[in-house]
Amino acid sequence: MNPAPQINPGLPNTSIKQLSTKRIRLRKSLDETKRFIKTQKIGVISLSIIMLFILLAAFAPLIAPYDPIEQDRSAFMLAPTAAHIMGTDDLGRDIFSRIIFGARVSLLVGIATVAISMICGTILGVISGYFGKVIDMAIQRVMDAIMAIPPLILALFIAALLGPAIKNVIIALTIVNIPHFARITRGEMLRIKEMNYVEASRSAGSGALRIIAKHGIPNMMAPIIVIASLTFGQSIIAEASLSFLGIGTPPPNPSWGLMLSGASSYMENAPWMVLFPGLVLSIAVLAFNLLGDALRDFLDPKLN
């Protein structure tokens, strides 16, 4: 006689199945991560640069050698030296310290803008695509009105109307970016709701909310992630543009755009005041854009 199968008496069958499912998902995630590292070299480099910026922003008080706001009247516009590796500005403030603390502002604006616009845009797009008819027409006309105005002009108008503050920059950029997520998710929802598994779920009695939560949003995460990564870089450069024009981050808070604005008058006498903030801003935006391209290539089944 064959021995009876050994079953762990401490775990019910349901728990065993759930544990097995979690292990399968974990193994699949590890395999996908290895495939991304192997096939998307530029994406990995970009992600490493982004992680470096995140670490610099998170540990800015420990890394920065000087107070980013404190002025040193004996160190006006000093060229890069061992004491000030990126030099000082026209008020004697250490540029390296201000760049590190400026990363906090850029990442804060990017994270808040992408998170809020992604949530709001996804909700509007899913509702528009699933229900259609009058709801779809009303939402899309509002999105068309927002997209009809150049993004920077619209953000400039909203930020100027609300006043110079970081939260107002986030509000302005969020309004500008919502239509991008709404358009993408609407198109995906129109495609997904015609699938056979959605029809089967609807025939089984599932309501609209369950279909959207179980089938809609999970199956459109790939394009949402790609748009989010690209929007992050756009938000960073938009915040820098608004700060450069004087309606973004208020002084004396360190901001890359604000640093470029203050240094524009000293390009001939102190080029390092423009060079280093501009270089860091360019690298950050390029890293996010390259990561978005890598994610698009990796997540698009047509390209795999």
Q: What is the residue-averaged pLDDT of the chain?
A: 86
In a domain, 9, yes or no: no
In a domain, 20, yes or no: no
Q: Which domain holds residue 139?
A: 39-59+90-303
pLDDT tier for residue 1 given thresholds of 50, 70 and 90: very low
Which single residue is written with the structure tokens 């470096």?
52
Q: What is the pTM of this model?
A: 0.83
In a domain, 83, yes or no: no
In a domain, 85, yes or no: no
> 3-state DSSP helix/strand/coil percent for the chain, to nearest 5?
75, 0, 25
Asked if the model's pLDDT at residue 7 lies above 50, the reply is no
* The total number of structural domains that make up the chain: 1
**Residues 182-241: pLDDT tens digits?**
999 999 998 988 888 888 888 888 788 888 888 888 888 888 988 998 899 899 999 998
Distance CA 38, CA 265 (A): 46
The mean pLDDT value for 164-181 works out to: 92
In a domain, 233, yes or no: yes
**Residues 34-83: pLDDT tens digits?**
888 888 899 899 999 999 999 999 999 999 999 998 888 888 888 999 88
Contact 156, 247 (CB under 8 A): yes
Ranges 25-29, 157-161, 296-300: which has the least confidence: 25-29
Q: Quick one: which of 270, 277, 279, 264 has its CA closest to 89?
A: 270
In a domain, 75, yes or no: no
pLDDT of the residue at 3:
53
In a domain, 7, yes or no: no
In a domain, 161, yes or no: yes
Asked if the model's pLDDT at residue 304 lies above 80, the reply is no
What is the domain-level CATH number for residue 165?
1.10.3720.10
pLDDT tier for residue 112 given thresholds of 50, 70 and 90: very high
The mean pLDDT value for 119-126 works out to: 93
